Amino acid sequence: MAIRSMINMIRGRRRDWFLDVIDDYFKSNSHVTSTIGYFRPSALSQCIREMQYSYIGVAKYPDNSLSSIKRMVRGIWHHDMWEKIFINSGIPVKVGKDYPVSCLCPCIMGTSDIIIENSLGDNQLIDFKSYANAYSPPWGHLAQWSMYAYLLNMNYGMNVSKGWLVREDPISLELEPFPVKLEMEFILDIMHGLRVIERYSVEKLMFPKDMRCGTKRAWGSGCSLYDFCNSEKGDNPW
């Protein structure tokens, strides 16, 4: 922005003009939030119905609100930061966005975080997550890590069998790594579940609501589709 117009803006507007500058940046960096016809491993921590909405193209943030956009853009920055730290460390790494993963049945697409290369041939996958429970990684994050590891092996022959889920405490920002390993039985269960959701979607049926889901949850702790899901349209989005 030219200096003169910036000065005019500061003189002419209310005291918190800088919030407008920041909001304008995020608005111009908004991303399309709906995907159609495939699952994302990052969605495996959602409830089944939320995964189905994503698969059939209901936008994850139907309100497309500025706060949703801000959180998404900041999430992307956050992952870029982890990549830079590992690349600059000199450790031999591959970054997930250079190795997008996919599968046809069920249809899955996504990108993992960081793969540490081991000269002996067994690479390790590191995935960063923000979550509150300090004792163990949630099921959905383990499912996500496992799916990335499995697809990296299938698509690129990377031989990933172990790695780390790194928990970032959302308040203190302390990091805690949990060792994880790939279990094929777990992958087969997930694949089966995704095929069932796919079949429901092809037949234009909707999965029942998650019975554990009783209240509207804040963004980041689960569901951004609460209002849509509980509207009449939520049961018949076609």
Instruction: Out of 9, 73, 226, 237, name the contact with ligand SF4 by CB under 6 A.
Output: 226
Stretch that binds ligand SF4, among 54-62, 154-162, 193-201, 224-232 (CB under 6 A): 224-232
SS3 of 118-186: the string is CCCCCEEEEEEEECCCCCCCCHHHHHHHHHHHHHHHHHHCCCEEEEEEEEECCCCCCEEEEEEECCHHH
- State the amino acid at position 188 in one-letter form: L
Q: Min. distance of Cβ 206 from ligand SF4 in angstroms?
A: 10
Binding positions for ligand SF4, 42-71, rule CB under 6 A: 47, 49-50
Instruction: Out of 79, 169, 213, 237, name the contact with ligand SF4 by CB under 6 A.
Output: 213
Q: Is 223 in the site for ligand SF4 (CB under 6 A)?
A: yes
Q: What is the distance of C-alpha 100 from the center of its chain?
A: 14
Query: How many residues form the binding site for ligand SF4 (CB under 6 A)?
Result: 11
Q: Is 210 in the site for ligand SF4 (CB under 6 A)?
A: yes
Nearer to ligand SF4, 109 or 213 (CB): 213
**Which residue's beta carbon is nearest to the bound ligand SF4?**
213
Of 73, 31, 42, 38, the closest CA to residue 56 belongs to: 38
Q: What is the distance of C-alpha 97 from the center of its chain?
A: 13
The C-alpha atoms of residue 1 and residue 38 are separated, in whole angstroms, by 40
Stretch that binds ligand SF4, among 100-108, 165-173, 177-185, 223-231 (CB under 6 A): 223-231
Of 4, 92, 76, 1, the closest CA to residue 33 belongs to: 76
- Interface contacts to ligand SF4, rule CB under 6 A: 47, 49-50, 209-210, 213, 222-223, 225-226, 229
